[in-house]
Amino acid sequence: MNPPVAGETQTFERTFTLEDVRQFAELSGDTQPRHTEPDADGRVMVQGLLTATMPTKMGSDDEVLAHKMEFEFLKPVYTGESITCTSTYDTVVERDDRYEFTSTVVCENPADEAVLEATVAGIIWKGG
């Protein structure tokens, strides 16, 4: 793993499926009809916390141990929409055994509208 650098960005894209939403509904207990009954276009609304797994996945790629994550859910996400998240390291402080960081994440729908914004603070241990 390369050390994190302030200003560095990474992106991740995902399209949630009906099966993704159904599995998350079963696991989380969030089985509201909006998440289980398709609309006229055959879509369901993706749970906010399922959408929030996108920044979590990105952190996993860098072996992040987050100690604070704040989410703001701005617009609904629907199955079949391609969502792109961009994460930017805002600050990085190097310590003897780790990097401490803060980052900002913005997730957008195909219309380039922000659907989720997040701030993350955590550490990345040196040597994985």
Give yes or no for residue 22 having a pLDDT over 90.
yes
Each domain of the chain, given as residue ranges in start order, spans 9-15+47-125
Do β-strands 9-15 and 114-125 pair in parallel, antiparallel, or remain unpaired?
A: unpaired
* 101 close to 123: Cβ distance less than 8 angstroms: yes
Distance separating alpha carbons of residues 44 and 58, to the nearest angstrom: 24
**Residue-level pLDDT at 6:** 97
Give yes or no for residue 128 having a pLDDT over 60.
no
Assign domain 9-15+47-125 to a CATH class.
alpha beta
Which tens digits make up the pLDDT trace of 52-101? Answer: 999 999 888 889 999 999 999 999 999 999 999 999 999 999 999 999 99
**pTM value > 0.75:** yes
Distance separating alpha carbons of residues 8 and 3, to the nearest angstrom: 10
Give yes or no for residue 125 having a pLDDT over 80.
yes
Which tens digits make up the pLDDT trace of 39-55? Answer: 999 999 999 999 999 99
